[in-house]
């Protein structure tokens, strides 16, 4: 029998990430001023753009055999279009006309088509021998993407220029001027990669139009190289594929019932919130039907990730609480055993069947091993903890629109600008609405310094503050706020200082103090976490004294006999 061939884990992992990319990427736009169609050079083009889709109106002026006459800069749009269609990607085209002198109009068309596209493909010379229009377009795309706080996109320069090094260097410079940066740059290969965006420079003669989509998808896969990125791409793709069905679940035939329920419900805003939650539920149903989490976050995928990424990065160890003080190494075998068997009553089962104690106080070593050290684990786990706990905050990763302002609600975190103390709003959400012109006292918990045991991490200007949430009644404070006349909520005001730094401010009166207190908005805890903390506060308020036999309590725990 022939020996089985070794499995190329790197190739398998790449295919896994590529599968997520293929599910996600739905559209591309190609911008070029020298298109060729049906074996004829299209020399004069008037671009008509409707909501980002370029529809060329052509005038055929030269009938020429394709293979003999296409030059280094011309684009075979038929082959490019067919190649993208074979990859299930809709491809739009924008053709700037060299005869048209209005660069502003050309720029507007390019940006209108580029903004909604997953992939943007630009010729380097969109005017005869001139790259200025391309550079301007790159800068504008970068400005829009950077304002999105993490817009996923691949930008490709598809050029007839033989020197892709110089083109790559100039393209990166234009994108950086627009606010995008790159952590990995290889000018010789024409590649640059950021956290959420990627640049690829290709020569038209080296990569044909037929090969173009495959090359681009391969480059896009670098943005999906991880457990969570590939899951997120597949999850968004699942919602996209089911979006028409999701919309059909909200027919106009339900409008009368929605309005009727809203009118007879107190408060009516609860029905609006219900519809929003139903929409989110339908999206979640789409993920379940497509089994996205089962496919992208299962044990097999995590095992592949551990192998391909050569995890753990560092071997850690801990001592058992026995006479010999036996040391257990947290290495690859330990991590794989933990993945396979999980924890059993504070013990980990090795593949040889042996059980070893693995108590709470030792488990941080797993993160240190995976991250490659204590400092990296601290940074990574802090980022994960903030992501899990906070719905939105003042960090650079949170996206806001120009019109959005925060309201004071359950889970809001603020800082008293005068006392520099931090507070956590624990007022029930239903008591934070319907306050038009009314004054209402809001219940808040004074956040404490953790003394090495933080339970909440909040981004602030210049770093991260660590807090302990103490739900004891003596930590409760109340402040009085006035409801907005238009929407009945306590709305923050946007303040812009001399350095153009923006801050959201709430104004309140301290109970019995009669003076205005300003609070800076810092973020909002996710609703399920806030509900849990409010429940903890309720338990503290509802504590009862000794109402039973203490001996019976001990017996129930197995510490005494009856």
CA dist., res. 374 & res. 368, Å (int): 5
* Closest among 490, 537, 481 to 510, alpha carbons compared: 481
Question: Does some domain include residue 126?
Answer: yes
Residue 61 has pLDDT above 50, yes or no: no
What is the pLDDT at residue 59? 46
Question: Does some domain include residue 304?
Answer: no
Over the stretch 114-165, which tens digit does the pLDDT of each residue have?
999 999 999 999 988 899 999 999 999 999 999 888 899 999 999 999 999 9
Q: Which residue has the higher pLDDT, 193 or 401?
A: 193
133 and 17 assigned to the same domain: yes
Question: Does some domain include residue 386?
Answer: no
Which residue reads 């239903």 in tokens? 430
Over the stretch 405-450, which tens digit does the pLDDT of each residue have?
999 999 999 999 999 999 999 998 888 988 888 899 999 999 998 8
Question: Does some domain include residue 5?
Answer: no
Contact 190, 202 (CB under 8 A): yes
57 and 202 assigned to the same domain: yes
* Closest among 189, 188, 177, 184 to 138, alpha carbons compared: 177
SS3 100: coil
Q: Give residue 252's domain range.
A: 229-296
User: pTM higher than 0.75, yes or no?
Assistant: yes
Alpha-carbon distance values, 101 to 97, 98, 106, 127, 133 (Å): 8, 7, 9, 10, 12
CA dist., res. 127 & res. 135, Å (int): 12
- The helix or strand, by DSSP H or E, that contains position 390, with its residue range, turns out to be strand 390-393
Contact 453, 467 (CB under 8 A): no
Question: Does some domain include residue 418?
Answer: yes
Poorest-pLDDT segment among 15-19, 107-111, 528-532: 528-532
Contact 503, 518 (CB under 8 A): no
361 and 408 assigned to the same domain: no
Contact 279, 316 (CB under 8 A): no
Poorest-pLDDT segment among 7-16, 51-60, 220-229, 363-372: 51-60
Residues in the chain: 562
All residues at 6 or more sequence positions from 73 whose CB lies less than 8 Å from its CB, including other chains: 34, 123, 125, 159, 160, 204
Average pLDDT for residues 354-378, to the nearest whole number?
92
237 and 132 assigned to the same domain: no
356 and 406 assigned to the same domain: no
Q: Which residue has the higher pLDDT, 47 or 100?
A: 100
Contact 519, 505 (CB under 8 A): yes
Question: Does some domain include residue 412?
Answer: yes
Alpha-carbon distance values, 82 to 37, 89, 159, 482, 513 (Å): 12, 10, 19, 61, 73
* Closest among 426, 440, 424, 452 to 539, alpha carbons compared: 426
509 and 422 assigned to the same domain: yes
Determine what percent of the chain is predicted with pLDDT higher than 70. Answer: 90
User: Which string of DSSP letters, residue by residue, matches 23-75?
Assistant: HH--EEEEE-SSEEETTEEEEEEEEEEETTEEEEEEEEEEE--HHHH--TT-E
220 and 234 assigned to the same domain: no
511 and 525 assigned to the same domain: yes
Other beta carbons within 10 Å of 2 = 4
Other beta carbons within 10 Å of 559 = 9
Q: Which residue has the higher pLDDT, 317 or 436?
A: 317
Average pLDDT for residues 456-472, to the nearest whole number?
89
195 and 75 assigned to the same domain: yes
Averaged pLDDT of the chain: 87
Number of domains in the chain: 4
* Closest among 214, 238, 247, 334 to 288, alpha carbons compared: 238
Question: Does some domain include residue 478?
Answer: yes
Which residue reads 């794989």 in tokens? 336
22 and 60 assigned to the same domain: yes
Question: How many CA atoms does the CB half-sphere of 533 hold within 13 Å?
Answer: 27
Q: What is the per-residue burial (b if ≥16 Cβ within 10 Å, else e) of 309-336?
A: eebbebebebeeeeeeeeebebeeebbb
113 and 199 assigned to the same domain: yes
Using alpha carbons only, what angle is made at residue 199 by residues 120 and 105, rounded to the nearest 5 degrees? 40
What is the pLDDT at residue 261? 95
CA dist., res. 334 & res. 365, Å (int): 11
Contact 332, 338 (CB under 8 A): no
462 and 396 assigned to the same domain: yes
Question: Does some domain include residue 148?
Answer: yes
* Closest among 162, 164, 112 to 141, alpha carbons compared: 112
């Amino acid at each position: 029998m022939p020996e089985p061939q070794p499995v190329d884990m790197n190739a398998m992992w790449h295919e896994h990430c590529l599968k997520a990319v293929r599910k996600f990427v739905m559209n591309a736009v190609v911008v070029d001023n020298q298109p060729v169609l049906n074996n004829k050079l299209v020399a004069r083009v008037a671009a008509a753009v409707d909501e980002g889709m370029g529809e060329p109106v052509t005038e055929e002026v030269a009938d020429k055999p394709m293979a003999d006459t296409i030059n280094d800069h011309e684009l075979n749009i038929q082959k490019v279009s067919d190649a993208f269609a074979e990859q299930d990607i809709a491809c739009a085209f924008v053709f700037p006309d060299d005869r048209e002198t209005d660069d502003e109009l050309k720029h507007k068309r390019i940006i209108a088509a580029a903004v909604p596209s997953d992939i943007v493909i630009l010729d380097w010379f969109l005017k005869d021998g001139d790259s200025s229009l391309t550079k301007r377009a790159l800068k504008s795309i970068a400005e829009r993407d950077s304002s999105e706080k993490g817009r996923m996109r691949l930008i490709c320069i598809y050029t007839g220029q033989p020197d892709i090094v110089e083109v790559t260097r100039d393209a990166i410079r234009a994108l950086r001027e627009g606010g995008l940066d790159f952590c990995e740059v290889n000018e010789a290969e024409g590649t640059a990669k950021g956290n959420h965006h990627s640049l690829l420079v290709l020569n038209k003669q080296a990569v044909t139009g037929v090969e173009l989509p495959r090359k681009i998808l391969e480059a896009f896969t670098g943005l999906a190289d991880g457990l969570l990125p590939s899951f997120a791409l597949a999850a968004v793709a699942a919602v996209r594929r089911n979006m028409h069905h999701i919309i059909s679940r909200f027919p106009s035939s339900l409008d009368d019932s929605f309005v009727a329920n809203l009118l007879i419900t107190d408060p009516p805003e609860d029905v609006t919130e219900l519809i929003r939650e139903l929409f989110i539920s339908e999206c979640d149903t789409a993920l379940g039907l497509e089994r996205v989490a089962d496919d992208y976050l299962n044990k097999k995928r995590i095992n592949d990730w551990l192998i391909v990424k050569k995890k753990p990065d560092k071997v850690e160890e801990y001592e058992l609480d026995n006479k010999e003080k036996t040391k257990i190494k947290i290495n690859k075998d330990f991590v794989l055993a933990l993945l396979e068997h999980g924890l059993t009553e504070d013990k980990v089962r090795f593949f040889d069947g042996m059980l070893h104690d693995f108590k709470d106080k030792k488990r941080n070593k797993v993160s240190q091993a995976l991250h490659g050290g204590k400092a990296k684990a601290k940074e990574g786990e802090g980022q994960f903890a903030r992501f899990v706990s906070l719905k939105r905050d003042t960090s650079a990763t949170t996206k806001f629109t120009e019109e959005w302002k925060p309201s004071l609600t359950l889970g809001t975190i603020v800082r008293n600008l005068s006392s520099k103390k931090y507070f956590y709003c624990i007022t029930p959400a239903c008591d934070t609405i319907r306050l038009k012109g009314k004054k209402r006292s809001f219940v808040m918990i004074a956040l404490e310094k953790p003394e090495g045991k933080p339970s909440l991490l909040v981004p602030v200007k210049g770093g991260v503050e660590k807090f302990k949430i103490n739900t004891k009644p003596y930590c409760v404070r109340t402040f009085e706020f006035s409801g907005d006349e238009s929407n009945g909520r306590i709305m923050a005001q946007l303040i812009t200082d001399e350095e153009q730094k923006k801050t959201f401010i709430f104004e309140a009166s301290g109970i019995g103090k009669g003076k205005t207190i300003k609070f800076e908005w810092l973020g909002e805890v996710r609703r399920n976490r806030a509900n849990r903390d409010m429940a903890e506060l309720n338990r503290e308020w509802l504590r009862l004294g000794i109402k039973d036999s203490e001996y019976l309590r001990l017996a129930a725990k197995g510490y005494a006999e009856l």
